[in-house]
Structure 1
């Protein structure tokens, strides 16, 4: 059966089979799915005690939900700045242009795992993640 114009094929992914890449902020990323022009889905993993580099995005926005581990997220937009706890069930937004940095608690029983939707899909360009000044010293490369 052929697709009607404008329809996208069904896709299925398993995080265990996803390639492992390094995000510009240093977190481990497992890209899962893409809906062309709309968004992409990935899982971020940060080992206990690790801290990412602070970055902001040039063209994308993100929604995160913590699925395992614990840690903290710092984010700054204009004159607003805050740090929030990350525990399973916590959901946060990263609006366009927001500077952010996250870390996994050193005493966490396992890695901090975050499922994230990026809108539009992650472009894969070198200039998408811009370095920022954050509150913590990064421990990832």
Structure 2
């Protein structure tokens, strides 16, 4: 995932003004803000019916909150595995090393949108998102 989020001590960003990039899992991403040494903030989006590729992260962990749409998130780590419903207001954690995959419901009236904090900030390296086996066939490119 490339893109240039705002890197200022008093950063301000508007989702309508930032470039769209594609995450390693295939989701559309709007990189918003970065606090060096702290974390980064971005908005992820999938159109109805889209499914990401399953990945795990090498150095970052994430906190998500769904702001629009509906879907499902699958997570697996250390022998624990679960699939949870995603709807506006749902918040989830993606701990370091967790394999995960998410999808937008086909019959949703609009895109699945998720605001995510990545800690530490997203490094932008090609090896950060590692391919994993997930439960669904990916459709996002």
Using the size of structure 1 for normalisation, the TM-score is: 0.94
Task: Determine the C-alpha separation between the residues in 2 that align with 1:89 and 1:104.
Answer: 15
Deviations along 1:61-95, whole A, 9 cap, x unmatched? 00000000000000000100000000000000000
Q: Does the aligned pair in 1 maintain the 2:9–2:35 contact within 8 Å? A: no
Task: Determine the C-alpha separation between the residues in 1 that align with 2:13 and 2:81.
Answer: 35
Runs ≥4 in structure 1, deviation > 4 angstroms?
A: none
Task: Determine the C-alpha separation between the residues in 1 that align with 2:9 and 2:38.
Answer: 14
Alignment partner, residue 91 of structure 2: 91
Alignment partner, residue 78 of structure 2: 78
Task: Determine the C-alpha separation between the residues in 1 that align with 2:50 and 2:21.
Answer: 16
Alignment partner, residue 66 of structure 1: 66
| 2:21 counterpart of 1:21 | yes
Alignment partner, residue 110 of structure 2: 110
Task: Determine the C-alpha separation between the residues in 2 that align with 1:73 and 1:56.
Answer: 13
User: Shift of residue 9 of structure 1?
Assistant: 2.2
Segments of structure 2 that go 5 or more residues without pairing to the other structure are 1-7
Task: Determine the C-alpha separation between the residues in 2 that align with 1:24 and 1:11.
Answer: 25
Task: Determine the C-alpha separation between the residues in 2 that align with 1:29 and 1:131.
Answer: 18
User: Shift of residue 140 of structure 1?
Assistant: 1.2
Alignment partner, residue 4 of structure 1: none
- Report the RMSD for the aligned CA atoms in angstroms: 0.6
Corresponding pairs, count: 134
- Judge which range, 8-17 or 110-119, deviates more: 8-17
User: Shift of residue 111 of structure 1?
Assistant: 0.1
Q: Does the aligned pair in 1 maintain the 2:52–2:103 contact within 8 Å? A: yes
Q: Does the aligned pair in 1 maintain the 2:74–2:101 contact within 8 Å? A: yes
Alignment partner, residue 135 of structure 1: 135
